[in-house]
Chains A and B, each alone.
Chain A
Amino acid sequence: MVDQSIAGPAGMMARPAGDRSGRALLALAALAAGLVAVALFSLASGASDASALGVLRHWFSGAPADALSARDRVIIHDIRLPRVIMGVLVGAALAVSGAVMQGLFRNPLADPGLVGVSAGAGLGAVSVIVLGTTSLAPLTALLGPAALPLAAFCGGLAATLILYRVATRQGRTSVATMLLAGIALAALAMALTGMLIFIADDRQLRDLTFWQLGSLAGATWQKIAAAGAVILPALAAMPFLARGLNALALGEATAAHLGVPVQRLKYAAILCVSAAVGAAVAVSGGIGFVGIVVPHLLRLAIGPDNRYLLPGSALLGAALLLLADAFSRTIVAPAELPIGIVTAAIGGPFFLWILLRRRGIVDL
């Protein structure tokens, strides 16, 4: 194996051997700084030459409004800024959800996209898009813009609950069953989604295709409000699961012996993941592999302690999604590639690489 020494750099606060918290805190600080840099870069880059720096200078100086061209203001304030905020919300939600699911299933291969949770959420969202004006009209009228994220949440929750019931028996989760059940669930959700697409009209169809590939392009302040109202509370709640998830790494029985209310922890984790993934899928479609790539990279750097892994995943997930988005906007400018294609193109090979490294854990 590679160098496994875990002593911090010399001169840092002395921590006992095997204590990686110092290194983890350092990494969190670096990730936070990195996210700010990426967000600024993302604000500044795009098909238009609108200067983010100019806008920032304008915001902070309190200069009169005409100091900035109206066009730049619109581009930054109404297009790029919502897109960046949406990218941060979605990236953080997907990455933290991946980390929490991996802790819950005690397996590094669990990911909302892989095991059908995103597909379930997608089915909920597509139902609202296609049936929102006909059979589900009373519901959409009642809930307004919250109908889409709520339907996605319900779809994700149903998928997660079914998956957990199928894959876990007497407190033990079978990896093979989990992955296979995920495939079956995803296929079922896709089939139902397919039926809805079949009855969709042409305008809905174009919306759906673009949405299914995953994109941050449609970011608006209204969508941010709807998704943020779900994602932010879920993100805020998940760090409270960290200690329990750490104990869960030793198995459900041992976690309970250590004083962790395991049943409550599991339900809270399932609820948070379904809410965060549902909201993320509702506004950005099928962006895959963030939830598996980000926690895996972080575990290599700072170890599996969820107290640092969860906030670290939020920061790195947000930063990586913004980078992928910047890439997808510029690679074929002035057109843009759906970001889901970019994350899948990076995530697919990465997933294979994890499988190769850990061959044997998926014993069928």
Chain B
Amino acid sequence: MIELRDVSVAIGAKRIVSGIELEARPGEVAAIVGPNGSGKSTLLKALSGDLAYGGRIAINGREAAAMKPAEAAAVRAVLPQAATLAFPFTVREIVRLGLVGGRSGALAGEAERLPERALARVDLEGYAGRFYQELSGGEQQRVQLARVLCQVWAPVLDGRPRYLLLDEPVSSLDIRHQLMVMDVARDFAARGGGVVAILHDLNLAAMYADRIHAMHNGRLAAAGTPGEVLNDALIEKVFGCRLKVGALPAGGAPFVLPQSIVSH
């Protein structure tokens, strides 16, 4: 389990995040939602070990700040919001970097072709030989996800759950690939791992998350199941926008919800 107790993060003299209490359990997808600048990414960076924090962050009972990079890499993988690349690596070479730590947890038979398996998982079969820098933004994002999956291929290692920390994993994806990536996350949780994902799409959050944490001005405004959190009052408070949950567009205007998926 990932447990955050009274976590605060300051960048310079400015306090970005404070008083965060959060639990992300294995077997579940935890979504973090909130407006731009509400501290979601900052919180995830503290959780990933990029930023110093106050309070406690425990991953499987171990204080995150006390973990060595290799230790932390064995229990969680992080998908960044954007990644620039300095040199012309192929897609396969990038995905293979997920194996640098050597704790993928893949079975002996899988290990050899793990980059290919991970690429197939994100619908990029046959892209292994392409140059990363020549792909579209959405394709690059899925290559990064494949790299992350390689790092924690087995959601449970040595009997302990592992975690995916995803910062806006679907931000540049088309609707089909949004669903596919969220399926990957849900499947990871279903097999015993845990997922913490920053999401902007409230419908995807409602569809895939077991728990939603809504952030506002660096604090947690609400936390609970989608049914508990997504209500008119909270959305107005957090997003400053008067929206009706569950209301259909007037006059039969078309709308498309991810929930309406039949099969894919």
Contact A106 B86 (CB under 8 A): yes
Report if A6 contacts B (CB, 8 A): yes
Q: Are B87 and A299 in contact (CB under 8 A)?
A: yes
Q: Is B87 a contact of A16 with CB atoms below 8 Å?
A: no
Enumerate chain A residues within 8 angstroms of B72, measured Cβ to Cβ. 257, 259
> How many residues from A make CB contacts under 8 Å with B?
32
Verify if A253 is at the interface (C-beta below 8 Å from B): yes
| Cβ–Cβ contact B97 & A259, under 8 A | no
Given A17-B92, A20-B93, A259-B74, A107-B86 contact (CB < 8 Å): yes
Indicate with 1 or 0, residue by residue over B83-120, a CB within 8 angstroms of chain A CB atoms. Answer: 11111111111100110110100000000010110000
Which residues of A sit under 8 angstroms from B151, Cβ to Cβ?
A: 258
Question: CA of A7 to CA of B68 in the docked complex: distance in angstroms?
Answer: 38
Give the residue name and chain of the A residue nearest to B86 (CB).
A106
Cβ–Cβ contact B129 & A5, under 8 A? yes
Among B69, B103, B128, B131, contact of A16 (Cβ-Cβ < 8 Å): B128
Partner of A246, one of B78, B90, B100: B100
- CB distance B48 to A247 under 8 Å? no
CB-nearest residue of chain A relative to B90? Answer: A18
Asked whether B77 is an interface residue with its Cβ less than 8 Å from the other chain, the reply is yes
Cβ of A257: which chain B residues have Cβ within 8 Å of it? Answer: 48-49, 72-73, 77-78, 80
A22 at the interface (CB under 8 A from B): no
- Distance to closest chain B CB from A179 (angstroms): 15
The answer to whether A206 has its CB under 8 Å from any CB of chain B is no
The answer on a CB contact under 8 Å between A108 and B92 is no
Known: A18-B130, A259-B69. A303 touches B90 (CB 8 A): yes
Residue of B nearest to A253 (CB): B50
CB-CB contacts below 8 Å: A145-190 with B: none
Q: Are B74 and A18 in contact (CB under 8 A)?
A: no
The chain A residue sitting closest to B98, CB to CB, is A258
Q: Which residues of B contact A (CB under 8 A)?
A: 45, 48-50, 68-70, 72-74, 77-78, 80, 83-94, 97-98, 100-101, 103, 113, 115-116, 126, 128-131, 151
- Sorted nearest first, the 3 A-B pairs with minimum C-beta distance are A259-B73, A18-B92, A17-B129
